[in-house]
Amino acid sequence: MRTLLLGIAMTTLAAGPLLAQNPPRRQQLQQQVVQRFMTNYRAQAGLNDEQFTRFQEVIQYSFQLRTESLQQERQLWMALEGQMRPGVAADADSLEALMNAIIDIQQQRVDQSRAELERYASFLDPVQRAQLTIAWRRLQMQIEGVRGMGVQRRQGQGVP
């Protein structure tokens, strides 16, 4: 399963520059990653049809919320970095507001994670929830690792 997750992550990130120019393709690829994750988790956790149906509903909704949250956070970080350009006086009030907004959105993700665990508790046992938490964390770590390799590769080629 780890190899499959790494393959999914690498495929997603290798197509990054193309996907940035092609949002429908990006959405399709994200949907494939989520679908593969759900299918692999179903097999690992031994979910029955009813559990899998409920799982699909929760994770697809959660994935959408997480995607939106991460996009908002990226925009906030870009705005913060924009305020900190060399040679440009930063606006203290704007900096404060941006930093608070970043913390707020991170807290929203923590709250979302708690709410998801509560929803999962209605149809998954503790072992299945722990398996899901571990599988999700591994996927995130693999994606971050592949992103890091992509950044290193671009920096080695002189691309910022």
φ and ψ of 120, to 5 deg: -65, -35
Gap between the Cα atoms of 129 and 145, Å rounded: 24
At 20-68, the pLDDT tens digits run 456 788 778 777 888 888 999 999 999 999 999 999 999 989 888 988 9
Averaged confidence pLDDT in the chain: 81
pLDDT in tens, 108-142: 999 999 999 999 999 999 999 999 999 989 888 87
Task: Please give the pLDDT value at position 151.
Answer: 58
Domain ranges of the chain: 1-47+136-160, 57-123
Burial (CB count within 10 angstroms: exposed 0-12, middle 13-18, buried 19+), residue 9:
buried
